C-alpha cells in the first residue's frame, strides 16, 4: 500500500501548496551518477550553494557499474601520446554521421570543440589514463591501456566521412574503469564544496504559477521535505531501462534484450518529472543495443545473415551498430557464419547452432529457405576472392572467401543470446543542458544531463557517449544553473 | 514581429492569471476535423453545453481532404451485404498483429467490439455506403463501391493470424469520400446542439494549481479570449506533418517524403499544448508512409529490391507497409522489377529507370553490386516456378518466375518518387480518450482524439485507421468529457 500510494503522488506541485521550505540551496542536483557529480562539482566551483540528492545510499549509479569508456577526442593528450592524430573537426564529422538521422549539431559542435579541455578536467579530478592504445577492439580493454576504438570509426561508411581515430578513453583500472572514474568524481564532489545527501528520493518538482521550477519535494527516511532551489534543479537521474511500463510504451523492442544495462535507479523517474512539468522529450524509442560478436576484431571475417539468409551490413562495424540493426531492422534474428579457415570464437561465447559440409546443410539446419544461404555465400565469396564487398563495404582485411568446410553458424538471435540494452531517449535539452518546452524554449529553473536526456547518441551509439556526454553536459548544466538568476 | 511574439506566448497559463472568462461552456472541442466533429456531436448529445473552435474559417481539416476510408469491421451491414464474414475477434486479431510491436490492446478491443455500432452511428449521420466490394485493391476506389481491402489482411503473416476480411469502408462519392464524410459530420454538429466558432486559434491551456485543465486562451479576430470549459477540453487538432521543427526533431525520416498528407493545420499545435500541460506523448517517431506500387494489385507480381539488390518483404502487402519498410528499414531506396510477361504499370505512374535483356544489365544500369540482382532473381525464380516464396511468403497468385526478357525496373526511391507521409504519434490517451500523465493517470480536464494522439496505428498503418479511430475515439472523448464532474 505504501508503494501504491507513493506512485499516485503528484509529480508536480504548485509552490503555493508548499507551506515552507525545509531547506534552501542555489543549485539542486537530483541523482549522483557521472552527470550529477559533474554538475554538482561545477555548480559549486562557480560559487553556488549546491546540494546533490541521491536515492541510493551512495552515489555512482549506472556510471559506476559501466565499462568506464569516455568518448573524447579532438587531440587529447592520450591520443597524441599513443600516436593518433585527431581534430575537433574530424570528431564532429564522425559524430554527425554516426548519431542517427537527426544528430544534434549544436551539441556535437561544442562537445567536439571542448573535448580536449574536458579530458583535462576529468584528468584533473584524479582520473588517470595510460596513454597506450589497445588494438584488439573493445569498449573495455582487459588491460590497463587507455585508448580504444569504441565506435564504427574504421568501418564503412564512417571511414570515408571522417579520418578515423580511436576516441574511447578508459581509466587505468582494468575491468573496473567505471567504478574508478566514479570513485574519483564522487571524491571531487565534497572537495568542490557541494553537499551530498543519500537515501533521498525526489517525488515532485515544485513550480511557480508561470511554470518555472522553484524546487522539489523529496522523501528521506520517511519524511517529506521541501527543498528550494534558488537558481535551478538539475535532473541527472539516468534512463529508463529498468522501468517496465515506460519500456513497454516507448521502446518495446528493448524488452527482448536479455541484458538490461543499468542500476536499479534507471527507472525514468527524472524523465517523468520533467514531462509532468511540461518538458519536451526526444527519441524515447531509441536504445543502445550491443551485439558483441567481437572482440576479437578478427571475428569480422564471419558473415552475418538474417532470417532470410541474407547479409544486411558490414560485419566490422561496432557492436552497438550490429545490435541496433539486428533488433530494429532484422526482427532480432541473425547468425554469424564461418568456414573452417576463418573460425574464431568471440570473447563472449556464442553457441554453435549449425554445422555442415556445405552451406546448404548449414542453411537447412538453421531452417533457412532452400537455396538462400548458398546464393548469399556464393555472391559473397565471388567478391571476397577479389578482396571486395560491394554490397556492404566490409574492410578488405576481413574479407576472405568462406569456402573451406566444415561450415558453422553461431547464434546471434536476441531471444537466445546476449544483447545488452539501455535507453537513449529522454528530456529534450539544448547544448547548455537547459530542459526545453515543446516550443523549444528553456523551461526556467530546470536543467538535465546524462541518460535522463536525449544525448548525443540517439539512436546511433558508440561506446563512451554516455559517460562522455553525461559528464560534459552535466558540467554545463551545473555551470548554467549556477549562473541563473535567483528565482522568487 | 507579430508572429515572433505570438510563438513566444506561453502554452499553459495559471487560472489565477486569467482575470475573467469571456465565455463558459461544459465541453470545449479544439479543432473540427473528423475527431472534433464526433466529439462535439456526442458531448452535445449527452447534454453538455458544447463549443467547437476551429482555426480555419470552416471545419473539415485533413479529414475532408482525405480518401475517406474508415477502418471498420466485425460484421458491418456493408460487409454482410457484400458477402464477407467478419467478427470483432478477427478484426482485433488483425489489428493486434498489424499495429506495430506494442499495439494498444485496450483500444483495439473496444474499437473492434463496438465497430458495428460505430458504423451504424456514422450511417445515421447521413453517410451512405454502397454495400459492394471493390476488388482492384485500393484505399480509395475510383468507383462508388463501399468496401475495400485497406490493409495487409490477405498478405503474410496476417493471413495466417486472422481470417481476412475487407474493412475499408468508403462513402459513396467517388474521389471525394473524405469531403462527403465531413460534409455529413459537420452538418450533424449544429444539429446536435453544439456550437461552432471558426477563425479561432487556441494559444494556451489554462490550468488550476493542481494541474487540472480549466479552459483555454484563444485568439479570434485579433482579440484574446478566455473560455472556461467546466467539464473538459478535447484536443482534436491533428498531427504534425506540416511542422518543420517537430518533424525534424521527432520523425526526421518523414522529411524525405515528397508528399506530406495533411491540411495546413497539421502543425502539432494541440500536441504541444498537451505536452506543455504535462501530458505524456507516444510514438512521436512513427509515420504512415505510403509507397503506392499498386493498384492494380497485379503489380505485386513484380519484385521489390533494395540498394543491395536484395528482396526484403512480400510485395503484396499494403502500400503503407511497403513505404514503412522502404523508408525506415531500407534507406529509402527500392526498385520494382518486372519481366516482359509480368510488366504492368501501377496506376500512379513510376519511371522506368533501367531495362535490359538480362538481369545483369538491369543491375548494372541501377548501379547495383555485380552479381547481386542475378543471385536474387535466380533464387526468386527457382522458388516461383514451384509457386513458392519461402523467403517472404508472397501469395501464390502473384508468384511467377520473371524470366522473359526484356527486364525492367521502376523507380521506388523516396527522393525521386511519390511517398505520401503523415505522422502517427501524439498525446498518450487511454481507451476513454483521456490524456495521460507520465505515470499513466488521466490529466484532469483534458481529452484528445485523432492524429493529435497516438492512435491505434502507430507504427503499422492500414488505411482507414485515421478516420476510423479519430471518429471512434472522438466520440468517446465527447461522451467522457460530458460526463465529467464540473471543475471549480
Residues 235-294 of A with CB under 8 A from B: 245, 248-250, 252-253, 271-272, 275-285
Task: Select from B209, B376, B437 the Cβ nearest to the Cβ of A16.
Answer: B209
Strand A407-411 relative to strand B259-260, pairing:
unpaired
Please give the full DSSP string across A176-227, using - where no structure is assigned: -HHHHHHHHHHHHHHHHT-EEE-SEEEEEEEE-TTS-EEEEEEEETTEEEEE
Cell numbers at residue B453, please?
Answer: 494522439
Do residue A438 and residue B276 have CB atoms under 8 angstroms apart? Answer: yes
Q: What is the pLDDT of residue A488?
A: 63
Best mutation target, A391, A399, A401, to test chain B (most B CBs within 10 A): A391
Angle made by CA atoms B210, B214, B219, in degrees to the nearest 5: 130
Residue A339 predicted with pLDDT over 90? yes
Residues B100 and B313: their CA atoms lie apart, in Å, by 16
**How many of the other CB atoms lie within 10 Å of CB of A65?**
16
Residues B173 and A173: their CA atoms lie apart, in Å, by 73
Question: Does residue B472 sit in helix, strand or coil?
Answer: helix
Chain centroid to Cα A268, Å, comes to 15
Give the chain A residue whose CA is nearest to the CA of B376: A375
Q: What is the pLDDT of residue A8?
A: 67
Dihedral sign, CA of A21, A24, A30, A32? negative
The pLDDT tens digits of the residues spanning A368-404 come to: 999 999 999 999 999 999 999 999 999 999 999 999 9
Cβ-Cβ contacts under 8 Å between A and B: the total is 128
The pLDDT tens digits of the residues spanning A195-205 come to: 999 999 999 99
Cell numbers at residue B72, please?
Answer: 471498420
- In this predicted complex, what is the ipTM? 0.94
Please state the pTM of the whole predicted model.
0.96
Do residue B383 and residue A375 have CB atoms under 8 angstroms apart? Answer: no
Task: Select from B14, B210, B245 the Cβ nearest to the Cβ of A440.
Answer: B245
Residues A423 and A425: their CA atoms lie apart, in Å, by 6
Q: What is the pLDDT of residue B469?
A: 96
Dihedral sign, CA of A441, A446, A449, A454? negative
State how far the alpha carbon of B25 is from the alpha carbons of B191, B214, B216, B217, B232, in Å. Answer: 17, 11, 11, 13, 9
Task: Select from B209, B329, B392 the Cβ nearest to the Cβ of A329.
Answer: B329
What percent of chain A is modeled with pLDDT above 70?
A: 98
The torsion angle over the Cα atoms of residues A374, A375, A381 and A384, rounded to 10 degrees, is -140
Residue B295 predicted with pLDDT over 90? no
Residues 370-399 of B with CB under 8 A from A: 370-372, 375-376, 378-379, 382-383, 390-392
What mean pLDDT, rounded, does chain A reach? 95
Do residue B391 and residue A372 have CB atoms under 8 angstroms apart? Answer: yes
Q: What is the pLDDT of residue A4?
A: 36
The pLDDT tens digits of the residues spanning A450-474 come to: 999 998 888 788 999 999 999 999 9
What percent of chain B is modeled with pLDDT above 70?
A: 98
Do residue B102 and residue A369 have CB atoms under 8 angstroms apart? Answer: no
Residues B211 and B430: their CA atoms lie apart, in Å, by 18
Residues A353 and A365: their CA atoms lie apart, in Å, by 8
A14 CB neighbours in chain B (<8 A) are 209-210
Residue B202 predicted with pLDDT over 50? yes
Q: What is the pLDDT of residue B488?
A: 63
Residue A2 predicted with pLDDT over 80? no
Specify whether the CB–CB gap between A53 and A28 falls below 8 A: yes
pLDDT confidence tier of residue A69, bands split at 50, 70 and 90:
very high
Residue B357 predicted with pLDDT over 50? yes
Residue A413 predicted with pLDDT over 70? yes
Q: What is the pLDDT of residue A294?
A: 87
B250 CB neighbours in chain A (<8 A) are 282
Q: What is the pLDDT of residue A396?
A: 96
The pLDDT tens digits of the residues spanning B413-434 come to: 999 999 999 999 999 999 999 9
Q: What is the pLDDT of residue B366?
A: 98
Residue A139 predicted with pLDDT over 80? no
The pLDDT tens digits of the residues spanning B207-263 come to: 999 999 999 999 998 999 999 999 999 999 999 999 999 999 999 999 999 899 999
Chain B contact present for A209, CB below 8 A: yes
Specify whether the CB–CB gap between A313 and A460 falls below 8 A: no
Q: What is the pLDDT of residue A458?
A: 80
Specify whether the CB–CB gap between A476 and A429 falls below 8 A: no
pLDDT confidence tier of residue B348, bands split at 50, 70 and 90:
confident
Over residues A261-288, mean pLDDT: 96
Do residue B372 and residue A391 have CB atoms under 8 angstroms apart? Answer: yes
Residue A311 predicted with pLDDT over 60? yes
Q: What is the pLDDT of residue B7?
A: 47
A257 CB neighbours in chain B (<8 A) are none
Contacts of A5 (CB under 8 A, 6+ apart): none
Residues A315 and A156: their CA atoms lie apart, in Å, by 10
What mean pLDDT, rounded, does chain B reach? 95
Specify whether the CB–CB gap between B315 and B302 falls below 8 A: yes
State how far the alpha carbon of B149 is from the alpha carbons of B75, B167, B245, B326, B464, in Å. Answer: 14, 6, 35, 21, 10
Higher pLDDT, A31 or B221: A31
A210 CB neighbours in chain B (<8 A) are 10, 14, 17
Strand-pairing partners, residue A195, are: A51
Amino acid at each position: 500500500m505504501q508503494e501504491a500510494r507513493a506512485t499516485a503522488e503528484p509529480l508536480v506541485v504548485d509552490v503555493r501548496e508548499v507551506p515552507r521550505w525545509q531547506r534552501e540551496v542555489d543549485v539542486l542536483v537530483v541523482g549522483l551518477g557521472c552527470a550529477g557529480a559533474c554538475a554538482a562539482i561545477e555548480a559549486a566551483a562557480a560559487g553556488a550553494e549546491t546540494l546533490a540528492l541521491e536515492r541510493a545510499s551512495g552515489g555512482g549509479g549506472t556510471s559506476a557499474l559501466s565499462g568506464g569508456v569516455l568518448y573524447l577526442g579532438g587531440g587529447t593528450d592520450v591520443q597524441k601520446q599513443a600516436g593518433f592524430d585527431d581534430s575537433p573537426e574530424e570528431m564532429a564529422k564522425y559524430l554527425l554521421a554516426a548519431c542517427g538521422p537527426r544528430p544534434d549539431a549544436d551539441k556535437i559542435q561544442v562537445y567536439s570543440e571542448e573535448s580536449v579541455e574536458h579530458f583535462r578536467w576529468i584528468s584533473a579530478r584524479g582520473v588517470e589514463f595510460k596513454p597506450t592504445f589497445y588494438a584488439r577492439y573493445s569498449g573495455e580493454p582487459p588491460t590497463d591501456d587507455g585508448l580504444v576504438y569504441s565506435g564504427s570509426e574504421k568501418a564503412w561508411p564512417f571511414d570515408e566521412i571522417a579520418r578515423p581515430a580511436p576516441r574511447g578513453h578508459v581509466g587505468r583500472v582494468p575491468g573496473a574503469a567505471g567504478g574508478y572514474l566514479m570513485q574519483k568524481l564522487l571524491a571531487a564532489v565534497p572537495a568542490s564544496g557541494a553537499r551530498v545527501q543519500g537515501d533521498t528520493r525526489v517525488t515532485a518538482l515544485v513550480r511557480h504559477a508561470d511554470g518555472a521550477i522553484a524546487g522539489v519535494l523529496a522523501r528521506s527516511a520517511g519524511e517529506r521535505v521541501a527543498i528550494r532551489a534558488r537558481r535551478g534543479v538539475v535532473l541527472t537521474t539516468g534512463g529508463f531501462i529498468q522501468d517496465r511500463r515506460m519500456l513497454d510504451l516507448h521502446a518495446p523492442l528493448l524488452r527482448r534484450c536479455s541484458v538490461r544495462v543499468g542500476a536499479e535507479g534507471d527507472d525514468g523517474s527524472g524523465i517523468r518529472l520533467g514531462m509532468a512539468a511540461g518538458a519536451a522529450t526526444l527519441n524515447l524509442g531509441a536504445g543502445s543495443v550491443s551485439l558483441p560478436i567481437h572482440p576479437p576484431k578478427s571475428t569480422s571475417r564471419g558473415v552475418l545473415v538474417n532470417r532470410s539468409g541474407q547479409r544486411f551490413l558490414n560485419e566490422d562495424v561496432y557492436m552497438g551498430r550490429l545490435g541496433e540493426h539486428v533488433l530494429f531492422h532484422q526482427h532480432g534474428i541473425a547468425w554469424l557464419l564461418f568456414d573452417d579457415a576463418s573460425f574464431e570464437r568471440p570473447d563472449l561465447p556464442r553457441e554453435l547452432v549449425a554445422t555442415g559440409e556445405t552451406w546448404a546443410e548449414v542453411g537447412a539446419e538453421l531452417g533457412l529457405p532452400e537455396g538462400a544461404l548458398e546464393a548469399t555465400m556464393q555472391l559473397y565469396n565471388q567478391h571476397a576472392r577479389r578482396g571486395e564487398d560491394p554490397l556492404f563495404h566490409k574492410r578488405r582485411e576481413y574479407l576472405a572467401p568462406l569456402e573451406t568446410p566444415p561450415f558453422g553458424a553461431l547464434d546471434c538471435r536476441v531471444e537466445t543470446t546476449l544483447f545488452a540494452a539501455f535507453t537513449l531517449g529522454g528530456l529534450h535539452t539544448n547544448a547548455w543542458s537547459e530542459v526545453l518546452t515543446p516550443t523549444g524554449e528553456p523551461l526556467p529553473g530546470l536543467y538535465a544531463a546524462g541518460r535522463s536526456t536525449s544525448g548525443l547518441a540517439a539512436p546511433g551509439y558508440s561506446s563512451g557517449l554516455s559517460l562522455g556526454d553525461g559528464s560534459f553536459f552535466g558540467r554545463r548544466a551545473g555551470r548554467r544553473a549556477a549562473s541563473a538568476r535567483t528565482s522568487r
